[in-house]
Structure 1
Amino acid sequence: MDLDALRSFVAFVDTGSFTRAAKQIHRTQGAISMQMKKLEEDLGHSLFIKEGRNLLLTEKGKKLVSYARKIVSLHDEAVGEFSTLQNHRPLTIGCPDDYVDSVLADLLEIIHAQYPTLHLKVLCDSSTKLREYIDNGDIDLAILTRAPDKEEGYILRHDKGLWVHGGFPELVEKETIPLVLYDEDCKFHTAAIDGLDKMGRLHDLICTSSSSATLKTLLKRGLGLGTLASSSLTEGLYPLENKNMPPLPAVDIVLAVSPIPHPLFGVTQTVNLSSEYYAQDAKIA
Protein backbone atom coordinates (compact mmCIF):
# COMPACT_ATOMS: atom_id res chain seq x y z
CA MET A 1 0.00 0.00 0.00
CA ASP A 2 1.21 3.44 -0.90
CA LEU A 3 2.09 5.64 2.11
CA ASP A 4 0.80 8.84 0.45
CA ALA A 5 -2.50 7.11 -0.31
CA LEU A 6 -2.83 6.04 3.32
CA ARG A 7 -2.08 9.60 4.43
CA SER A 8 -4.80 10.86 2.08
CA PHE A 9 -7.18 8.21 3.43
CA VAL A 10 -6.55 9.31 7.03
CA ALA A 11 -7.04 12.95 6.04
CA PHE A 12 -10.44 12.06 4.55
CA VAL A 13 -11.45 10.17 7.70
CA ASP A 14 -10.41 13.07 9.95
CA THR A 15 -12.14 15.75 7.90
CA GLY A 16 -15.02 13.82 6.35
CA SER A 17 -14.33 15.60 3.08
CA PHE A 18 -12.22 14.93 -0.02
CA THR A 19 -12.16 18.70 -0.57
CA ARG A 20 -10.47 19.38 2.78
CA ALA A 21 -8.29 16.29 2.48
CA ALA A 22 -7.06 17.51 -0.92
CA LYS A 23 -6.12 20.90 0.54
CA GLN A 24 -4.28 19.31 3.44
CA ILE A 25 -2.29 16.90 1.28
CA HIS A 26 -1.70 19.56 -1.39
CA ARG A 27 -3.21 17.40 -4.12
CA THR A 28 -6.21 17.73 -6.38
CA GLN A 29 -9.45 15.92 -5.56
CA GLY A 30 -8.94 13.93 -8.75
CA ALA A 31 -5.52 12.75 -7.57
CA ILE A 32 -6.95 11.64 -4.22
CA SER A 33 -9.81 9.81 -5.96
CA MET A 34 -7.24 7.91 -8.01
CA GLN A 35 -5.29 7.10 -4.85
CA MET A 36 -8.42 5.72 -3.21
CA LYS A 37 -9.26 3.57 -6.25
CA LYS A 38 -5.71 2.18 -6.25
CA LEU A 39 -5.98 1.52 -2.50
CA GLU A 40 -9.22 -0.42 -3.06
CA GLU A 41 -7.55 -2.39 -5.88
CA ASP A 42 -4.55 -3.24 -3.68
CA LEU A 43 -6.80 -4.45 -0.86
CA GLY A 44 -9.44 -6.09 -3.05
CA HIS A 45 -12.27 -4.43 -1.13
CA SER A 46 -14.48 -1.36 -1.44
CA LEU A 47 -13.63 1.25 1.19
CA PHE A 48 -16.43 3.74 0.55
CA ILE A 49 -20.19 3.69 0.17
CA LYS A 50 -22.40 6.59 -0.89
CA GLU A 51 -25.48 7.50 1.17
CA GLY A 52 -27.27 10.45 -0.39
CA ARG A 53 -24.67 13.19 -0.74
CA ASN A 54 -22.41 11.69 1.92
CA LEU A 55 -19.51 9.34 1.29
CA LEU A 56 -19.14 6.90 4.19
CA LEU A 57 -16.73 4.11 5.03
CA THR A 58 -17.64 0.49 4.48
CA GLU A 59 -16.88 -2.05 7.22
CA LYS A 60 -13.56 -2.81 5.49
CA GLY A 61 -12.88 0.93 5.29
CA LYS A 62 -13.46 1.28 9.03
CA LYS A 63 -11.05 -1.59 9.68
CA LEU A 64 -8.38 0.06 7.53
CA VAL A 65 -8.48 3.30 9.58
CA SER A 66 -6.52 1.97 12.58
CA TYR A 67 -3.94 0.26 10.35
CA ALA A 68 -3.51 3.40 8.24
CA ARG A 69 -3.00 5.57 11.33
CA LYS A 70 -0.40 3.16 12.70
CA ILE A 71 1.52 2.97 9.41
CA VAL A 72 1.56 6.75 8.91
CA SER A 73 2.42 7.27 12.58
CA LEU A 74 5.30 4.79 12.45
CA HIS A 75 6.72 6.46 9.34
CA ASP A 76 6.57 9.92 10.93
CA GLU A 77 8.09 8.60 14.14
CA ALA A 78 11.02 7.12 12.23
CA VAL A 79 11.60 10.40 10.38
CA GLY A 80 11.46 12.31 13.66
CA GLU A 81 13.88 9.89 15.33
CA PHE A 82 16.61 10.80 12.86
CA SER A 83 15.90 14.52 12.93
CA THR A 84 17.57 16.99 15.25
CA LEU A 85 16.41 20.28 16.68
CA GLN A 86 19.00 22.22 14.70
CA ASN A 87 17.75 24.27 11.77
CA HIS A 88 14.11 23.29 12.25
CA ARG A 89 11.31 25.82 12.10
CA PRO A 90 9.19 26.57 15.20
CA LEU A 91 6.32 24.28 16.13
CA THR A 92 3.20 26.37 15.41
CA ILE A 93 0.12 25.64 17.52
CA GLY A 94 -3.33 27.12 16.94
CA CYS A 95 -5.81 27.60 19.77
CA PRO A 96 -9.16 29.39 20.32
CA ASP A 97 -8.45 32.08 22.93
CA ASP A 98 -11.07 30.69 25.35
CA TYR A 99 -8.91 27.57 25.71
CA VAL A 100 -5.66 29.43 26.39
CA ASP A 101 -5.90 29.30 30.18
CA SER A 102 -7.72 26.00 30.52
CA VAL A 103 -5.96 23.83 27.91
CA LEU A 104 -3.12 25.50 25.99
CA ALA A 105 -0.96 26.49 28.95
CA ASP A 106 -0.79 22.94 30.32
CA LEU A 107 -0.19 21.53 26.84
CA LEU A 108 2.74 23.90 26.23
CA GLU A 109 4.27 22.91 29.57
CA ILE A 110 4.20 19.24 28.55
CA ILE A 111 5.76 19.97 25.14
CA HIS A 112 8.44 22.21 26.65
CA ALA A 113 9.34 19.52 29.21
CA GLN A 114 9.86 16.99 26.41
CA TYR A 115 11.48 19.38 23.89
CA PRO A 116 13.09 22.12 26.01
CA THR A 117 14.96 23.75 23.09
CA LEU A 118 12.10 23.61 20.59
CA HIS A 119 10.75 27.06 19.71
CA LEU A 120 6.96 27.20 20.12
CA LYS A 121 4.71 29.64 18.29
CA VAL A 122 1.02 30.17 19.16
CA LEU A 123 -1.74 31.47 16.88
CA CYS A 124 -5.16 32.22 18.42
CA ASP A 125 -8.35 32.06 16.35
CA SER A 126 -11.69 30.26 16.16
CA SER A 127 -11.88 26.50 15.55
CA THR A 128 -13.30 27.18 12.07
CA LYS A 129 -10.35 29.38 11.10
CA LEU A 130 -7.84 26.99 12.65
CA ARG A 131 -9.17 24.18 10.45
CA GLU A 132 -8.44 26.38 7.43
CA TYR A 133 -4.90 26.98 8.70
CA ILE A 134 -4.40 23.23 9.16
CA ASP A 135 -5.73 22.63 5.63
CA ASN A 136 -3.35 25.24 4.20
CA GLY A 137 -0.35 23.91 6.13
CA ASP A 138 0.03 27.18 8.05
CA ILE A 139 0.07 25.50 11.48
CA ASP A 140 1.32 22.15 12.78
CA LEU A 141 -1.16 21.48 15.59
CA ALA A 142 -4.55 22.89 16.53
CA ILE A 143 -6.66 22.71 19.67
CA LEU A 144 -10.23 22.48 18.39
CA THR A 145 -13.79 21.95 19.47
CA ARG A 146 -14.49 18.75 17.55
CA ALA A 147 -16.97 19.21 14.72
CA PRO A 148 -20.21 17.19 14.95
CA ASP A 149 -20.08 13.70 13.41
CA LYS A 150 -16.37 13.98 12.65
CA GLU A 151 -13.44 11.92 13.91
CA GLU A 152 -10.97 14.78 13.75
CA GLY A 153 -8.16 15.08 16.24
CA TYR A 154 -7.14 13.27 19.41
CA ILE A 155 -9.17 13.80 22.55
CA LEU A 156 -7.86 16.20 25.19
CA ARG A 157 -10.97 16.83 27.27
CA HIS A 158 -14.69 16.11 27.41
CA ASP A 159 -16.52 19.31 28.32
CA LYS A 160 -20.02 20.76 28.53
CA GLY A 161 -21.67 24.06 27.76
CA LEU A 162 -22.90 26.39 30.48
CA TRP A 163 -25.09 29.46 30.58
CA VAL A 164 -23.02 32.07 32.41
CA HIS A 165 -23.29 35.59 33.80
CA GLY A 166 -20.77 38.15 35.00
CA GLY A 167 -22.40 38.96 38.33
CA PHE A 168 -25.79 39.88 36.91
CA PRO A 169 -27.99 36.76 37.22
CA GLU A 170 -31.11 38.94 37.24
CA LEU A 171 -30.75 39.39 33.48
CA VAL A 172 -32.44 36.01 33.06
CA GLU A 173 -35.66 37.51 34.45
CA LYS A 174 -35.90 40.16 31.72
CA GLU A 175 -38.78 39.83 29.31
CA THR A 176 -36.25 39.99 26.47
CA ILE A 177 -33.02 38.24 27.46
CA PRO A 178 -29.86 40.10 26.33
CA LEU A 179 -27.18 37.83 24.87
CA VAL A 180 -23.46 38.12 24.16
CA LEU A 181 -22.33 35.02 22.27
CA TYR A 182 -19.54 33.57 20.21
CA ASP A 183 -19.94 33.81 16.44
CA GLU A 184 -22.46 31.70 14.54
CA ASP A 185 -20.02 28.85 13.90
CA CYS A 186 -19.93 28.07 17.65
CA LYS A 187 -22.07 25.06 18.72
CA PHE A 188 -23.23 26.97 21.81
CA HIS A 189 -24.43 29.93 19.72
CA THR A 190 -26.74 27.76 17.62
CA ALA A 191 -27.98 25.76 20.61
CA ALA A 192 -28.70 28.93 22.61
CA ILE A 193 -30.64 30.74 19.86
CA ASP A 194 -32.55 27.66 18.67
CA GLY A 195 -33.32 26.62 22.24
CA LEU A 196 -34.69 30.01 23.25
CA ASP A 197 -36.77 30.17 20.06
CA LYS A 198 -38.31 26.75 20.79
CA MET A 199 -39.09 27.82 24.35
CA GLY A 200 -40.73 30.97 23.03
CA ARG A 201 -38.43 33.19 25.09
CA LEU A 202 -37.68 36.59 23.62
CA HIS A 203 -33.99 37.43 23.24
CA ASP A 204 -31.84 40.25 21.93
CA LEU A 205 -28.42 39.38 20.49
CA ILE A 206 -26.37 42.33 21.75
CA CYS A 207 -22.98 41.21 20.45
CA THR A 208 -21.21 38.28 18.78
CA SER A 209 -17.45 37.82 18.66
CA SER A 210 -14.75 35.21 18.19
CA SER A 211 -12.81 36.87 21.00
CA SER A 212 -13.16 35.28 24.43
CA ALA A 213 -11.67 38.35 26.10
CA THR A 214 -14.27 40.61 24.48
CA LEU A 215 -17.23 38.44 25.49
CA LYS A 216 -16.00 37.97 29.05
CA THR A 217 -15.54 41.72 29.47
CA LEU A 218 -19.09 42.36 28.22
CA LEU A 219 -20.48 39.70 30.55
CA LYS A 220 -18.74 41.33 33.52
CA ARG A 221 -20.18 44.70 32.49
CA GLY A 222 -23.67 43.21 32.62
CA LEU A 223 -24.48 43.64 28.93
CA GLY A 224 -25.95 40.17 28.68
CA LEU A 225 -25.84 36.46 29.42
CA GLY A 226 -23.47 34.15 27.56
CA THR A 227 -22.51 30.56 26.89
CA LEU A 228 -19.10 29.01 27.58
CA ALA A 229 -17.48 25.61 27.95
CA SER A 230 -17.24 24.87 31.66
CA SER A 231 -13.44 24.77 31.44
CA SER A 232 -13.43 28.35 30.11
CA LEU A 233 -14.95 29.86 33.27
CA THR A 234 -12.60 32.41 34.79
CA GLU A 235 -12.72 34.74 37.78
CA GLY A 236 -15.79 36.96 37.77
CA LEU A 237 -17.91 34.59 35.67
CA TYR A 238 -20.53 32.28 37.18
CA PRO A 239 -22.82 29.46 36.01
CA LEU A 240 -26.43 30.57 35.74
CA GLU A 241 -28.41 28.76 38.42
CA ASN A 242 -31.78 29.48 36.81
CA LYS A 243 -32.87 26.25 35.11
CA ASN A 244 -35.44 27.85 32.83
CA MET A 245 -32.94 28.05 29.99
CA PRO A 246 -32.39 25.66 27.07
CA PRO A 247 -29.75 22.94 27.52
CA LEU A 248 -26.37 23.33 25.83
CA PRO A 249 -24.47 20.49 24.15
CA ALA A 250 -21.46 18.60 25.39
CA VAL A 251 -18.26 19.17 23.42
CA ASP A 252 -14.99 17.35 22.87
CA ILE A 253 -11.79 19.39 22.86
CA VAL A 254 -9.24 17.71 20.61
CA LEU A 255 -5.72 18.15 19.28
CA ALA A 256 -5.49 17.98 15.47
CA VAL A 257 -2.23 17.50 13.61
CA SER A 258 -1.34 18.58 10.09
CA PRO A 259 -1.25 15.63 7.65
CA ILE A 260 2.17 16.91 6.58
CA PRO A 261 3.65 17.15 10.06
CA HIS A 262 6.45 19.14 11.60
CA PRO A 263 9.72 17.19 11.18
CA LEU A 264 10.00 16.70 14.93
CA PHE A 265 6.33 16.46 15.85
CA GLY A 266 4.25 14.05 13.85
CA VAL A 267 1.29 11.78 14.55
CA THR A 268 3.04 9.63 17.15
CA GLN A 269 4.13 12.62 19.22
CA THR A 270 0.64 14.13 18.91
CA VAL A 271 -1.04 10.93 20.08
CA ASN A 272 1.38 10.66 23.02
CA LEU A 273 0.87 14.32 23.91
CA SER A 274 -2.93 14.09 23.83
CA SER A 275 -2.87 10.87 25.87
CA GLU A 276 -0.59 12.41 28.50
CA TYR A 277 -2.73 15.55 28.69
CA TYR A 278 -5.98 13.57 28.91
CA ALA A 279 -4.61 11.35 31.71
CA GLN A 280 -3.32 14.39 33.61
CA ASP A 281 -6.60 16.25 33.13
CA ALA A 282 -8.62 13.25 34.32
CA LYS A 283 -6.60 13.10 37.56
CA ILE A 284 -7.20 16.80 38.23
CA ALA A 285 -10.93 16.46 37.50
Structure 2
Amino acid sequence: MDIEALRSFIAFVDTGSFTRAAKQIHRTQSAISMQMKKLEEVTGKPLFIKEGRNLGLTEHGRKLASYARRLLAIHDQALSDLKHRSDHPPLMLGCPDDYADSVLPQLIALILDAHPQQEISILCASSTRLRALLDRGELHAAILTRAPEKDEGYLLVHDKGVWTHGGYPELLERDLLPLVLYDADCKFHSTAIDALEKQNRPYQLIATSSSATALKGMLNKGIAVSALASSTVSGDLTILEETDLPDLPAVDIVLALAPHPHPALTAGDAAEISAKF
Protein backbone atom coordinates (compact mmCIF):
# COMPACT_ATOMS: atom_id res chain seq x y z
CA MET A 1 0.00 0.00 0.00
CA ASP A 2 1.18 3.49 -0.83
CA ILE A 3 2.50 5.20 2.32
CA GLU A 4 1.21 8.64 1.26
CA ALA A 5 -2.25 7.21 0.61
CA LEU A 6 -2.22 5.78 4.14
CA ARG A 7 -1.12 9.20 5.44
CA SER A 8 -4.08 10.81 3.66
CA PHE A 9 -6.38 8.11 5.05
CA ILE A 10 -5.24 8.78 8.64
CA ALA A 11 -5.59 12.53 8.07
CA PHE A 12 -9.24 11.89 7.23
CA VAL A 13 -9.68 9.59 10.25
CA ASP A 14 -8.20 12.21 12.60
CA THR A 15 -10.03 15.22 11.19
CA GLY A 16 -13.28 13.56 10.12
CA SER A 17 -13.20 15.71 7.00
CA PHE A 18 -11.74 15.36 3.51
CA THR A 19 -11.63 19.17 3.39
CA ARG A 20 -9.35 19.42 6.43
CA ALA A 21 -7.38 16.34 5.35
CA ALA A 22 -6.71 17.97 1.97
CA LYS A 23 -5.42 21.12 3.69
CA GLN A 24 -3.11 19.12 5.93
CA ILE A 25 -1.74 16.93 3.14
CA HIS A 26 -1.50 19.86 0.69
CA ARG A 27 -3.46 17.96 -1.94
CA THR A 28 -6.78 18.57 -3.61
CA GLN A 29 -9.87 16.75 -2.37
CA SER A 30 -10.12 14.99 -5.72
CA ALA A 31 -6.54 13.69 -5.34
CA ILE A 32 -7.36 12.33 -1.88
CA SER A 33 -10.56 10.74 -3.24
CA MET A 34 -8.46 8.95 -5.85
CA GLN A 35 -6.08 7.72 -3.14
CA MET A 36 -9.02 6.39 -1.12
CA LYS A 37 -10.44 4.58 -4.15
CA LYS A 38 -7.05 2.95 -4.75
CA LEU A 39 -6.90 1.86 -1.11
CA GLU A 40 -10.32 0.27 -1.48
CA GLU A 41 -9.12 -1.45 -4.67
CA VAL A 42 -5.94 -2.72 -3.00
CA THR A 43 -7.75 -4.01 0.08
CA GLY A 44 -10.77 -5.24 -1.85
CA LYS A 45 -13.02 -3.89 0.90
CA PRO A 46 -15.27 -0.83 1.33
CA LEU A 47 -13.60 1.55 3.77
CA PHE A 48 -16.23 4.28 4.06
CA ILE A 49 -19.93 4.43 4.87
CA LYS A 50 -22.45 7.26 4.76
CA GLU A 51 -23.50 8.54 8.21
CA GLY A 52 -26.12 11.15 7.48
CA ARG A 53 -24.36 13.94 5.61
CA ASN A 54 -20.95 12.74 6.72
CA LEU A 55 -18.67 9.84 5.88
CA GLY A 56 -17.64 7.34 8.53
CA LEU A 57 -15.51 4.20 8.54
CA THR A 58 -16.74 0.68 7.92
CA GLU A 59 -15.45 -2.16 10.09
CA HIS A 60 -12.79 -2.74 7.42
CA GLY A 61 -11.94 0.97 7.48
CA ARG A 62 -11.44 0.93 11.25
CA LYS A 63 -9.22 -2.14 10.93
CA LEU A 64 -7.14 -0.46 8.23
CA ALA A 65 -6.80 2.66 10.40
CA SER A 66 -5.20 0.55 13.13
CA TYR A 67 -2.72 -1.00 10.68
CA ALA A 68 -2.08 2.34 8.95
CA ARG A 69 -1.08 4.04 12.20
CA ARG A 70 1.43 1.29 12.90
CA LEU A 71 2.83 1.33 9.36
CA LEU A 72 3.22 5.11 9.43
CA ALA A 73 4.83 4.93 12.87
CA ILE A 74 7.44 2.43 11.63
CA HIS A 75 8.04 4.43 8.44
CA ASP A 76 8.47 7.77 10.24
CA GLN A 77 10.57 6.25 13.03
CA ALA A 78 12.91 4.69 10.47
CA LEU A 79 13.45 8.07 8.82
CA SER A 80 13.92 9.72 12.20
CA ASP A 81 16.51 7.17 13.35
CA LEU A 82 18.48 7.58 10.12
CA LYS A 83 18.82 11.30 10.72
CA HIS A 84 21.22 12.77 13.27
CA ARG A 85 19.36 14.47 16.12
CA SER A 86 21.28 17.69 15.59
CA ASP A 87 19.61 17.93 12.18
CA HIS A 88 16.18 18.20 13.78
CA PRO A 89 14.54 21.63 13.52
CA PRO A 90 12.67 23.13 16.51
CA LEU A 91 9.51 21.23 17.38
CA MET A 92 6.51 23.54 16.97
CA LEU A 93 3.99 22.46 19.62
CA GLY A 94 0.55 23.94 20.32
CA CYS A 95 -1.36 23.81 23.61
CA PRO A 96 -4.57 25.40 24.93
CA ASP A 97 -3.72 27.78 27.76
CA ASP A 98 -5.83 25.83 30.27
CA TYR A 99 -3.58 22.77 29.90
CA ALA A 100 -0.31 24.71 29.95
CA ASP A 101 0.40 24.01 33.63
CA SER A 102 -1.09 20.50 33.84
CA VAL A 103 -0.82 18.35 30.70
CA LEU A 104 1.91 20.27 28.85
CA PRO A 105 4.78 19.85 31.37
CA GLN A 106 4.33 16.07 31.46
CA LEU A 107 4.28 15.93 27.66
CA ILE A 108 7.45 18.03 27.41
CA ALA A 109 9.20 15.80 29.95
CA LEU A 110 8.36 12.66 27.95
CA ILE A 111 9.57 14.23 24.69
CA LEU A 112 12.85 15.26 26.33
CA ASP A 113 13.30 11.78 27.81
CA ALA A 114 13.61 10.48 24.25
CA HIS A 115 15.28 13.56 22.71
CA PRO A 116 17.19 15.47 25.42
CA GLN A 117 18.68 18.00 22.98
CA GLN A 118 15.43 18.81 21.17
CA GLU A 119 14.44 22.49 21.04
CA ILE A 120 10.70 23.07 21.48
CA SER A 121 8.66 26.16 20.62
CA ILE A 122 5.25 26.35 22.34
CA LEU A 123 2.21 28.28 21.16
CA CYS A 124 -0.82 28.63 23.46
CA ALA A 125 -4.17 29.05 21.70
CA SER A 126 -7.63 27.50 21.58
CA SER A 127 -8.10 24.00 20.16
CA THR A 128 -10.00 25.53 17.22
CA ARG A 129 -7.07 27.77 16.27
CA LEU A 130 -4.52 25.01 16.86
CA ARG A 131 -6.39 22.71 14.45
CA ALA A 132 -6.25 25.44 11.80
CA LEU A 133 -2.49 25.84 12.35
CA LEU A 134 -2.01 22.07 12.04
CA ASP A 135 -3.99 22.16 8.80
CA ARG A 136 -1.72 24.91 7.45
CA GLY A 137 1.44 23.07 8.44
CA GLU A 138 2.45 25.74 10.97
CA LEU A 139 2.58 23.28 13.87
CA HIS A 140 4.12 19.82 14.14
CA ALA A 141 1.78 18.72 16.94
CA ALA A 142 -0.81 20.06 19.34
CA ILE A 143 -2.59 19.18 22.55
CA LEU A 144 -6.32 19.36 21.77
CA THR A 145 -9.66 18.61 23.35
CA ARG A 146 -11.97 16.28 21.44
CA ALA A 147 -15.35 14.70 22.03
CA PRO A 148 -14.96 11.19 23.53
CA GLU A 149 -16.61 9.53 20.51
CA LYS A 150 -14.05 10.97 18.05
CA ASP A 151 -10.87 9.25 16.83
CA GLU A 152 -8.66 12.33 16.54
CA GLY A 153 -5.12 12.10 17.88
CA TYR A 154 -3.57 10.04 20.66
CA LEU A 155 -5.33 10.00 24.03
CA LEU A 156 -3.53 11.66 26.92
CA VAL A 157 -6.24 12.27 29.56
CA HIS A 158 -9.95 11.64 30.00
CA ASP A 159 -11.39 14.84 31.46
CA LYS A 160 -14.71 16.47 32.28
CA GLY A 161 -16.08 19.94 32.86
CA VAL A 162 -16.75 21.16 36.39
CA TRP A 163 -18.23 24.29 37.94
CA THR A 164 -15.76 26.11 40.17
CA HIS A 165 -15.25 29.30 42.19
CA GLY A 166 -12.47 30.83 44.28
CA GLY A 167 -14.02 30.23 47.71
CA TYR A 168 -17.10 32.45 47.36
CA PRO A 169 -20.19 30.18 47.54
CA GLU A 170 -22.42 33.21 48.03
CA LEU A 171 -22.04 33.92 44.31
CA LEU A 172 -24.45 31.04 43.67
CA GLU A 173 -27.20 32.85 45.58
CA ARG A 174 -27.22 35.92 43.34
CA ASP A 175 -30.26 36.60 41.18
CA LEU A 176 -27.92 36.76 38.19
CA LEU A 177 -25.27 34.02 38.28
CA PRO A 178 -21.97 35.81 37.54
CA LEU A 179 -19.85 33.96 34.99
CA VAL A 180 -16.36 34.19 33.56
CA LEU A 181 -15.73 31.68 30.78
CA TYR A 182 -13.25 30.70 28.13
CA ASP A 183 -13.88 32.18 24.68
CA ALA A 184 -16.94 31.12 22.71
CA ASP A 185 -15.13 28.36 20.77
CA CYS A 186 -14.56 26.47 24.04
CA LYS A 187 -16.91 23.51 24.46
CA PHE A 188 -17.51 24.38 28.12
CA HIS A 189 -18.53 27.93 27.17
CA SER A 190 -21.23 26.88 24.73
CA THR A 191 -22.50 24.02 26.89
CA ALA A 192 -22.70 26.15 30.03
CA ILE A 193 -24.61 28.97 28.32
CA ASP A 194 -26.99 26.64 26.47
CA ALA A 195 -27.73 24.58 29.58
CA LEU A 196 -28.33 27.63 31.79
CA GLU A 197 -30.75 29.05 29.24
CA LYS A 198 -32.61 25.74 29.05
CA GLN A 199 -32.87 25.81 32.85
CA ASN A 200 -34.15 29.40 32.67
CA ARG A 201 -31.35 30.23 35.10
CA PRO A 202 -30.56 33.98 34.89
CA TYR A 203 -26.87 34.71 34.45
CA GLN A 204 -24.48 37.54 33.69
CA LEU A 205 -21.50 36.78 31.47
CA ILE A 206 -18.99 39.20 32.93
CA ALA A 207 -15.92 38.27 30.90
CA THR A 208 -14.51 35.78 28.42
CA SER A 209 -10.84 35.03 27.85
CA SER A 210 -8.49 32.54 26.24
CA SER A 211 -6.21 32.89 29.28
CA ALA A 212 -6.50 30.40 32.14
CA THR A 213 -4.50 32.78 34.33
CA ALA A 214 -6.99 35.59 33.73
CA LEU A 215 -10.00 33.39 34.52
CA LYS A 216 -8.47 31.95 37.68
CA GLY A 217 -7.45 35.42 38.83
CA MET A 218 -11.06 36.60 38.56
CA LEU A 219 -12.30 33.49 40.38
CA ASN A 220 -9.85 34.05 43.23
CA LYS A 221 -11.01 37.66 43.50
CA GLY A 222 -14.61 36.52 44.00
CA ILE A 223 -15.88 38.08 40.80
CA ALA A 224 -17.67 35.06 39.36
CA VAL A 225 -17.92 31.29 38.96
CA SER A 226 -16.67 29.40 35.91
CA ALA A 227 -16.81 26.14 33.96
CA LEU A 228 -13.36 24.57 33.66
CA ALA A 229 -11.81 21.21 32.87
CA SER A 230 -11.35 19.31 36.12
CA SER A 231 -7.66 18.62 35.46
CA THR A 232 -6.94 22.36 35.29
CA VAL A 233 -8.55 23.32 38.61
CA SER A 234 -5.79 24.39 40.98
CA GLY A 235 -5.81 23.89 44.74
CA ASP A 236 -6.93 27.44 45.46
CA LEU A 237 -10.23 26.87 43.63
CA THR A 238 -13.32 25.00 44.82
CA ILE A 239 -15.10 22.44 42.64
CA LEU A 240 -18.86 22.41 43.12
CA GLU A 241 -19.61 18.74 43.74
CA GLU A 242 -23.32 19.09 44.54
CA THR A 243 -25.10 21.88 42.73
CA ASP A 244 -28.22 22.60 40.75
CA LEU A 245 -26.07 23.98 37.95
CA PRO A 246 -26.26 21.94 34.73
CA ASP A 247 -23.91 19.05 34.02
CA LEU A 248 -20.90 19.79 31.84
CA PRO A 249 -19.58 17.43 29.14
CA ALA A 250 -16.77 14.93 29.24
CA VAL A 251 -13.84 15.58 26.92
CA ASP A 252 -10.67 13.79 25.92
CA ILE A 253 -7.33 15.57 25.87
CA VAL A 254 -5.30 14.24 22.95
CA LEU A 255 -2.02 14.77 21.15
CA ALA A 256 -2.63 15.44 17.45
CA LEU A 257 0.20 15.28 14.91
CA ALA A 258 0.64 16.98 11.58
CA PRO A 259 0.43 14.49 8.67
CA HIS A 260 4.19 14.84 8.18
CA PRO A 261 5.33 14.79 11.81
CA HIS A 262 8.50 16.15 13.35
CA PRO A 263 11.34 13.58 13.53
CA ALA A 264 11.35 13.90 17.34
CA LEU A 265 7.60 13.32 17.63
CA THR A 266 6.52 10.62 15.19
CA ALA A 267 3.37 8.53 15.38
CA GLY A 268 5.37 5.87 17.22
CA ASP A 269 6.55 8.44 19.75
CA ALA A 270 2.98 9.70 20.20
CA ALA A 271 1.70 6.16 20.82
CA GLU A 272 4.41 5.60 23.48
CA ILE A 273 3.58 8.94 25.13
CA SER A 274 -0.12 8.05 25.16
CA ALA A 275 0.68 4.76 26.93
CA LYS A 276 2.78 6.53 29.59
CA PHE A 277 0.32 9.31 30.45
Report the TM-score range of the alignment, normalised by the length of the smaller protein.
over 0.9
The superposition leaves residues 26-82 of structure 1 with CA deviations (integer Å, 9 ceiling, x where unpaired) of: 111111011111111122222112233111112221221111111111111111111
Q: Which residue of 1 aligns with 2:45?
A: 45
TM-score by length of 1: 0.93
- 1:113 Cα shift? 2.2
- Matched residue, 2:204: 204
The equivalent of 1:68 in structure 2 is 68
2:10 pairs with 1:16: no
Superposition map of 1:95-244 within 5 A: 95-147=95-147, 149-244=149-244
Answer yes or no: is the 8 Å Cα contact 2:96–2:125 preserved in 1: yes
Residue number in structure 1 paired with 2:78: 78
- Residue identity in the other structure for 2:37: K
Q: Does the CA-based 8 Å contact 1:158-1:251 persist in structure 2?
A: yes
How many angstroms apart in 2 are the aligned matches of 1:106 and 1:38?
A: 40
Checking the alignment, whether the CA contact within 8 Å between 1:92 and 1:120 is kept in structure 2 is yes
Asked if the contact 1:15/1:150 (under 8 Å) is kept, the reply is no
| Amino acid aligned to 1:232 | T
Query: What TM-score comes out, normalization by structure 2 length?
Result: 0.96
The alignment-based identity, stated in percent, is 57
**Greater shift in the superposed pair: 10-19 or 228-237:** 228-237
Q: Is the 8 Å Cα contact of residues 127 and 144 (structure 1) preserved in structure 2?
A: yes
Q: Could you tell me which residue of structure 2 aligns to residue 93 of structure 1?
A: 93
**Retained in 2: the 8 A contact 1:80–1:265?**
no
Q: Give the paired residue count.
A: 277
- The residue type equivalent to 2:91 in the other structure is L
Extract structure 1 runs of 4+ deviating beyond 4 A.
none
In structure 1, stretches of 5+ residues that fail to align are 279-285
Q: Which runs of 5+ in 2 are unaligned?
A: none
Cα distance, 1:256 vs structure 2:
0.9
> 1:152-184, CA deviations, whole angstroms, 9 ceiling, x for partnerless residues?
111111112110111221111111101111112
Q: Which amino acid aligns with 2:45?
A: H
SS of residue matched to 1:122: strand
Q: 8 Å contact 1:84–1:264 — kept in the other structure?
A: no
Shift of 1:99: 0.7
* Of 148-157 and 95-104, the range deviating more from structure 2: 148-157
In structure 2, distance between residues paired with 1:256 and 1:142? 5
Tell me the amino acid that sits aligned with residue 49 of structure 2: I
Pairwise CA distance, 1:149: 3.7
Give the secondary-structure state (helix, strand or coil) at the position aligned to 1:244: coil
Measured against aligned partners, the alpha-carbon deviations of 1:224-259 in whole angstroms (never above 9, x if no partner) come to: 110111111124321125511111111111111111
Q: Residue deviations 1:189-227, cap 9 Å, x none? A: 122112211222111111111111111112122221101
**Pairwise CA distance, 1:19:** 0.6
Aligned amino acid, residue 106 of structure 1 = Q
Question: Counterparts of 1:240-251 in structure 2 under 5 Å?
Answer: 240-251=240-251
Distance 1:235 1:135, change over 3 A: same
